[in-house]
Structure 1
Amino acid sequence: MSLRFRQLQAFHAIIETGTVTGAAEMLGISQPGVSNLLAQLEQQTRVPLFVREKGRLLPTPEADHLFREVDTVVRGLDHVAQAVSDLQNSQIGQLQVVSQHSISFGFLPPLIAQFARDRTGLSISFQSQYSPKVQEWVLSGLFEIGICEAPLLQDGLSAHRFQVACRLAMPQGHRLSACRTITVRDLAQEPIIAMGPDHMTHRQMRSAFQDAGLPWQPQIHTHMFRNVLSFVREGMGVSMLDPFALDFDREGGFESRPFEPAVHMDMAVVTSRHRPLSRIGQAFLDLLLEQITPYTVAGFKSD
C-alpha cells in the first residue's frame, strides 16, 4: 500500500479542525480537494474513517487510532518544513566567530547581539584569541569567520583586508589633551606603554622616534590592548591604540588624539577558501564588513 503524505495531511487536518472547511483553510486548498484526498485514503486503506451525521464528519475508533500514528508524522514534517524555511531566511544555524582582542570586547558583542535578535534558533560560538591562532582556527574549520591582524600566516584563507588609523591614548586631563594632534616630538619626555616588539604599532612608533632622533625606550610592554588601556587609565603613560579598543571602551578615564606621523593597523576578516560559508555566516559577514567600513582608512589597497 502506497499512501500519499497529502492524504494523511488532509485526514489529520480534518481531525484537528473538526470540519472539511477548516481543513481546507488550514491546508490552503479547496474543500473538494480535501474531500477527494479523504476519499482516496479511505479507498486505499479500506477502513471507514468517518461517519457522516447531520452534515458533520465524526471520526470512527479506527480513525482515532490512525490519527495517533499520523500525528507524529505530520507534526514532524511540519517541523522539518519550518526548519527549511528558517534556514532559507537565516533564522537558525550556528554563528562561529573568532577575533583578535581589541575588536572582540566592545565592538563585536553588540554586533552579534544585533544579528541574533530576530534569530531565535541561532547558536553562537565566539572566542577571542591572538591573530595567528585566529587564522589557524578558521583554516581548521573550528570557526567560519575570523578577524585578525596582518600578516596572514596561513595559506587557504580568503581575506577582506582593511586598515585603521590608531590614536594616542592618554590619561584623562593629561597635559597633551589640549592638543588637537599629537606629534612624536610631543612625546619626548612621556613614559610610553607599548605592545610587544613584534607588534606593528610598536615597530611604527619605534621608527617614528628614530626618524625624529629621539630615544625609543618604552616603560611598559604588554600584549593585550585592554591591559594597555588599563595602564593608561592609571596614569602610567601614553600609548597607541586602534579605534576599536578606544571607541568601544565603557570605563573611560582616558582621552585620545590623532597622531603624526600616522600609525596604522593592518587587519583582515578571514574565511576558509576550502569550505563555503553557511547562510548564517554569509549574512553575518555582510553585516560585519558594513559596520567595519566607517573605521577604515579611505583608499587603503591590499596586496
Structure 2
Amino acid sequence: MHLKLRHLEVFHAVMEEGSVSKAADRLYLTQPAISIALSRLEDMLGFPLFHRSKGHFAPRPEAYLLHMDAELSILAVEQFSNRARLIKQGGTGLLRVGAIGAAAFGLMPGLVARYTADNPLVEIDLSVRSSHQISYLVGNGQCDIGLVEAPVAAPSLVAEQFSLPCVCIFPAGSELEAKAQITPADLAQHRLIGIQDSNQVDRQLRAVCAGAGFEMRAPVHGFFFAVVRRMVAEGAGIAIVDALNGCLPPQDGVIWRPFTPEIRYDTALIVKAGAELSLPARAFIQIIRNEMQARGKLPDMATV
C-alpha cells in the first residue's frame, strides 16, 4: 500500500466539511477529482469508507476510526515542513556553548537573552568550565563554540582572539571614586583582591606593581572575576578585573575606573577545526564577535 499525502488530505477535508462539494472548495479541486481520490484510497485500503447512494453520502464507521489518524498524519507532515523551514533559516536546533567564568557571567547572559528572543526554538546549553576543559569539549565535538583564555595552542581548534581592557573596581563611596583613573600607587593604599597567581591579569599586575617600586600584595583571591566583583561589593577590597565584569551597571554598589598603565585580558573564540557549523551556531558566533569587538574599548565615562 502506497498512500499519498493527497489521499489523506482529501479524506480529512471530506470528513471535516461533510460533503464532497465543500471539500472540493476547501482544497481548490473539482468534485470529480475529490471522488476519484476517495475511490483510490478505498481501493488501497480494501474496504469502503463512505455510504454512497443517490442523494445520500455519509461516512461509514471505518471512516470515523481512521479520521483522527489522518489528521495526525497531516499535522506531522506540516510540523516536518515547518521544522525544516526553521532549520534552513537557523531558527531551531541545539547550541552547545562552553565559556570561562569571565564570559559566562559578564557576557553570555545578555547575549543568550538577545539571541533567544529572536530564536525561541533554539535550545542553548551553556557550560561554565576552565579553558582546558572547554578546549577539550570543543575539540571532541561536545561543544559547538567555546570562549577561553588566549592564547590557544591546539591543532584541532580554530581560534579567533579578542583583547579586552581591564578596570579597577571598588565600592561606591570610596575616595577612588573622585579619580579619573587608577594607578599602581593607588593600589598600594588599599586591600587588593587578586584572581589567582597563574591568571594573566595577575601576572601583568605584578609586573606593573614591580615597575612602580612595590610588591603586589593580594591576601584574598577569587577564581572568577564575577566572584571577585561580589567580594568588592561586600567591602573585602578593590580589584583589577576584565571590562566584561568590571563595567557592569553599578546596581551592586560597585564602581569602576580605568587603570593605567593598561592591562589587557586576552580571550579566544574557538570552534573545532574542519567542523561544519549549524546556522544557529554561525549566527551566535557573529553575535559574540560583534560584542567582543565592541567591548575592546572602555565605554565613555560620561555615559556611565
Please give the TM-score of this superposition, normalised by the length of structure 1: 0.84
Contact 1:106 1:249 in 2 (8 A): no
1:30: which partner in 2? 29
Unaligned runs of 5+ in 1: 299-303
What is the 5 A alignment of 1:126-137? Answer: 126-137=126-137
Contact 1:171 1:235 in 2 (8 A): yes
CA distance in 1, matches of 2:90, 2:24: 30
CA distance in 1, matches of 2:55, 2:201: 83
1:202: which partner in 2? 202
CA distance in 1, matches of 2:139, 2:24: 51
1:269: which partner in 2? 269
Contact 2:106 2:226 in 1 (8 A): no
CA distance in 2, matches of 1:22, 1:134: 60
Contact 1:19 1:56 in 2 (8 A): no
1:121-153 deviation line (CA, Å, top 9, x unaligned): 443321212222121121122221111111214
Question: Shift of the alpha carbon at 1:108?
Answer: 1.5
CA distance in 2, matches of 1:21, 1:157: 63
Question: Shift of the alpha carbon at 1:96?
Answer: 1.2
Question: Shift of the alpha carbon at 1:263?
Answer: 0.6
Question: Shift of the alpha carbon at 1:254?
Answer: 2.0
Contact 2:49 2:59 in 1 (8 A): yes
3-state secondary structure, aligned to 1:190: coil
Counterpart amino acid of 1:154?
A
Quickly say closer, same or farther: Cα 1:183–1:19, change in 2 above 3 A.
Answer: farther
What is the 5 A alignment of 1:74-223? Answer: 74-117=74-117, 119-223=119-223
What is the 5 A alignment of 1:38-57? Answer: 38-42=38-42, 47-51=47-51, 57=57
Contact 2:90 2:278 in 1 (8 A): no
Question: Shift of the alpha carbon at 1:4?
Answer: 2.7
CA distance in 1, matches of 2:99, 2:19: 56
CA distance in 2, matches of 1:107, 1:22: 57
User: How many pairs are equivalent?
Assistant: 297
Question: Shift of the alpha carbon at 1:202?
Answer: 0.9
CA distance in 2, matches of 1:56, 1:283: 58
Quickly say closer, same or farther: Cα 1:22–1:280, change in 2 above 3 A.
Answer: farther
CA distance in 1, matches of 2:247, 2:173: 18
3-state secondary structure, aligned to 2:78: helix
2:224: which partner in 1? 224
Contact 1:170 1:233 in 2 (8 A): yes
Q: How many percent of aligned residue pairs carry the same amino acid?
A: 29
1:217-259 deviation line (CA, Å, top 9, x unaligned): 3332332213322332233332111121123367522211111
Contact 2:168 2:238 in 1 (8 A): yes
Unaligned runs of 5+ in 2: 299-304
Contact 2:168 2:239 in 1 (8 A): yes
Counterpart amino acid of 1:79?
Q
Q: Pick which of 190-199 and 211-220 moved more.
A: 211-220
CA distance in 2, matches of 1:256, 1:274: 41
Counterpart amino acid of 1:232?
V
2:17: which partner in 1? 17
Is 1:278 paired with 2:278? yes
2:245: which partner in 1? 245
Contact 2:182 2:258 in 1 (8 A): yes
Counterpart amino acid of 1:162?
F
